[in-house]
Structures are given as structure tokens and as C-alpha cells.
């Protein structure tokens, strides 16, 4: 006798969730869509988070979160692309698209995990990524960001990127394959060659969804030189391995 009641309750819950999503869509500003989603990915602006599926709309001021073994690719209306790695969080702060390139603004806040940011077809000066340790100006660029346990790495894949620290100091990367580490005391290392394979360390070999541009460059100068004093990535890989092995 209880089954009809349970079924009816489930129907009411599903209806309420649908209505909440519909109300959210009516009041929020749509800026793009989730081009690809794997496993546990949610979006939240106000109220309860909503589960994202491939093709779902994404909105301004929405926070995107991914779970363990979960990744997402977000595509904005100006073709800006974000690949969000496992156990990551990014807030879509602002999006103004001007097809004539005379104005516009794309700003996101990266809170944790791994993120690949690919600029779209706006003026390169319109793109900004905010993080707990630096604000990043992305200039026609592909840049990877890794922020785990208070350590942040910025890795240039293509183009040019400028990091601005809280004290106003700027650090520029303009050579693909170079990186910097932001330290807990507010300082930053000098640029070094990136050799880390954080995609595998995070438990998602397919992150970013369109691949690691340096994965097949073993002959690249310095790529296998473990004695290079600037190579800090082995420590990071070991930290990530231990962290994930403990189920944190």
C-alpha cells in the first residue's frame, strides 16, 4: 500500500526540481553551455546545486564543481573554452560579448583543482582569471592552472599570459611549456620547464579533454632532465599521489 505514496513523492520531487531549474533559467543570464560532462558535475548560483549534463546551459555568477573522476568542458558564446578537472571549482563571474571587439569582458574565479582556459574571439585584453594568489590576464592563450593544497602552478601551453600578484608584481610567460609556482608566502618562482603529468595524477588521463600538448614531446630540450634544478614537478606528482592514495 505504500508504493503509490513513494512513487507520488518521487514525482513531486522531480517536478519541483524541474520548476526550480526553469525558474533559475528565467532569472539568470545564459553565457554558454556544457559541451561535455563526465560523471559528477554540478552548477549552483542560488539554492540547491543542479546536476549538469552535456548540452546544459551555463549562467553568469554560477559556480561549477566537479567530483572525483569527473570533468567538464564549458563553451562560452564567444568560443572561450574551460576544461575543468576533477575535484575542481570555478565561478563564472562575468561575461560580456561584443562581436565587434570594441568592448567585452570575460572573468572567472578559479578556486581549486585543475583548469585549462582557452581564450575565444574577443579582444585578448578582455580575459581575466582570478585565483586566491594572483589575477591572470590571458592574452590569446591556452593556459593551465593547478591549485591543490595551497600550491598553485600556472603553465603556458600557447600564446602569452601575465600573472599579477597582490603586491602588484607581474610575471609574464611567453614560451610554451614554461610554468611558475606561486608560493604560500605570496612570492613566485622564476619560470621553469614544466614536465609534470598532473592529468594522470588527478586520476583523469583524459583531462584536459583535448589533450596535453606536451605529452608527446619527449625529445623536447630538457624534457627528461630530472637533474634540472628548476624541475619542481616531481614533488607535486608525489604529493598528489599520496593525497589521492589516502582518499582525500
Nearest to 84 by CA among 50, 56, 118: 118
Nearest to 199 by CA among 211, 216, 217: 211
Top-level CATH class of 32-245? mainly beta
User: Are the CB atoms for 161 and 153 separated by under 8 Å?
Assistant: no
Chain Cα centroid distance, residue 60 = 15
In this predicted model, which residue has the larger pLDDT, 182 or 214? Answer: 182
Per-residue pLDDT, 4: 47
CB-CB neighbours of 188 under 10 Å: 19
For 63-77, the pLDDT digits (tens) are 999 998 888 999 998
Per-residue pLDDT, 6: 41
| pLDDT, mean over the chain | 75
DSSP structural state of residue 126: G
DSSP structural state of residue 221: T
Give the end-to-end CA distance of the chain in Å, rounded to a whole number: 43
Residue corresponding to grid cell 593556459: 143
Per-residue pLDDT, 53: 94
CA dist 132 and 127 (Å) reads 17
CA dist 104 and 191 (Å) reads 30
Nearest to 161 by CA among 147, 148, 144: 144
Say what the pTM is: 0.74
CA dist 116 and 72 (Å) reads 11
For 82-109, the pLDDT digits (tens) are 999 888 999 999 887 766 666 678 889 9
Q: Following DSSP, what letter does each residue of 24-38 receive, concatenated?
A: HHHHS-EEEEEEEEE
Beta bridge partners, 64, equal 43, 90
Contacts of 70 (CB under 8 A, 6+ apart): 38, 39, 40, 41, 86, 87, 204
For 192-226, the pLDDT digits (tens) are 887 766 554 455 545 566 555 544 443 333 334 44
For 116-132, the pLDDT digits (tens) are 998 888 877 888 899 98
Amino acid at each position: 500500500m505504500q508504493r503509490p505514496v513513494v512513487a507520488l513523492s518521487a514525482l513531486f520531487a522531480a517536478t519541483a526540481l524541474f520548476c526550480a531549474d526553469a525558474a533559475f533559467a528565467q532569472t539568470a543570464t545564459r553565457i554558454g553551455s556544457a559541451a561535455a560532462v563526465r560523471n559528477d558535475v554540478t552548477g549552483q548560483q542560488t539554492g540547491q546545486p543542479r546536476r549538469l549534463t552535456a548540452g546544459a546551459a551555463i549562467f553568469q555568477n554560477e559556480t561549477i564543481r566537479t567530483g572525483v573522476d569527473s570533468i567538464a568542458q564549458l563553451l562560452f558564446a564567444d568560443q572561450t573554452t574551460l576544461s575543468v578537472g576533477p575535484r575542481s571549482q570555478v565561478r563564472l563571474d562575468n561575461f560580456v560579448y561584443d562581436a565587434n571587439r570594441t568592448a567585452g569582458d570575460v572573468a572567472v574565479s578559479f578556486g581549486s583543482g585543475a583548469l585549462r582556459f582557452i581564450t575565444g574571439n574577443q579582444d585578448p585584453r578582455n580575459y581575466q582569471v582570478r585565483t586566491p594568489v594572483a589575477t591572470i590576464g590571458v592574452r590569446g592563450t591556452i593556459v593551465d592552472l593547478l591549485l591543490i593544497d595551497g600550491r598553485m602552478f600556472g603553465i603556458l601551453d600557447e600564446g602569452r599570459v601575465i600573472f599579477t600578484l597582490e603586491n602588484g608584481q607581474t610575471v609574464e610567460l611567453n614560451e610554451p611549456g614554461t610554468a611558475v609556482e606561486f608560493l604560500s608566502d605570496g612570492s613566485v618562482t622564476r619560470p621553469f620547464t614544466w614536465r609534470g603529468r598532473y592529468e594522470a595524477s588527478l586520476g583523469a588521463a583524459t583531462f584536459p579533454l583535448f589533450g596535453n600538448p606536451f605529452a608527446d614531446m619527449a625529445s623536447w630540450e630538457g624534457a627528461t632532465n630530472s637533474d634540472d634544478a628548476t624541475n619542481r614537478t616531481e614533488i607535486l606528482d608525489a604529493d598528489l599521489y599520496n593525497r589521492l592514495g589516502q582518499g582525500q
